[in-house]
Structure 1
Amino acid sequence: MLSLSDIKTGKTITLAGEPYAVIFHQHSKISRAGAVLRTKLKNLRTGAILEKNFQGSDKIEEAEIGKSKAQYLYREGKNYFFMDNVSFEQFSLPKSVLGNLTNYLIDGTEVIILNYNNNPINIELPIKMEFRVAEAPPAIRGNTADGGTKQVMLETGIKVSTPLFIKEGDIIRINTETGEYAERAK
């Protein structure tokens, strides 16, 4: 059991039998009422966000989340299939759980699988990943009024704002947490 002081951003807890990741926390002390912890929690199974306040006397159970390496294989309908790198077992996760992470999945991508009660519930991507630019408008000399950026389409179909010097066929690194251009790959 965890006390309020143990709850930090990034910690995983169990609430009503479901695993949650703490994505925001704020401790506050009100004179007579005692300590209160305001949190935003992300359900690791569904991706839903929940705001919850905990009182000083509340006991919170820590979620045992296992991590293992896996490889993305393919998509069929709304399901995305992965293979565990150790046991070679294949399993699928629906798009509703993966959310925007599906924008960065290419066949063969190495991911980290989050397991709860020995069942895969979600994935983590590397923070920076490399993608090939599929479409890029030509850079027009002197076209820097809007900060010197342009929209390019990556091989996965998502659009990203990049500097003007990026051309079709270039390999660029994208920050998967923010979805922004990071740098050109060497």
Structure 2
Amino acid sequence: MNVYDFDKTIYGGDSTADFYLFSLKRHKKILLLAPSLLGAFLKFYLFRKGSKTDFKQVMYRFLRNCDIDRDVKDFWAKNRAKIKQYYLKQQKYDDVIISASPEFLLEPICEILGIHYLMASRVDKYTGIYDGINCHGKEKVRRFYEMFPNGKIEEFYSDSYSDTPLAEIAEKAYIVTGEELTDWKFEKRN
């Protein structure tokens, strides 16, 4: 089976950021949350306090101002064309998507594309509260083996070296830049 990250890997952008901006255009009330989002951003990225999950839970408060099911459906109607062509040409029945983006956001596009296996961050679509931790880094490997205890990854694709834990368990791994695929460059260890 082949495993893919989602954002900037098979989707041309960051789906969460795109959905936030999409929602902001529809629901101006989200702007009232900007001070708390800025505070959480500074706390996590500048002062290195708290976890990425903590930061994202503050960010996801905007979901409380959305008509979430309609907004997600309309978002994918508008953004489906951002699925990369290289992926559509090589897609297989048993592909797996493992992403830090929220499950509720990726489930509809996976269904549209016929992708049967999705592991992503479990975020309540009405409150923005996580059920578990952000699906990132080593957590992606843990979640992969939770779903596929004896799973073997033939090929792995990502835009980011933060996914090295998954690349290390794949037979072959690729870095994705736009539509271009290059061999994963592993750090030499002494």
What range is the shorter-chain TM-score in?
Answer: under 0.3
Structure richer in helix, relative to its length: 2
| Greater RCO (CA < 8 Å, at least 6 residues apart) | 2
TM-score after normalising by structure 2: 0.22
Q: Which has the higher strand share?
A: 1
Larger Rg: 1
TM-score for both structures, normalised by structure 1: 0.23
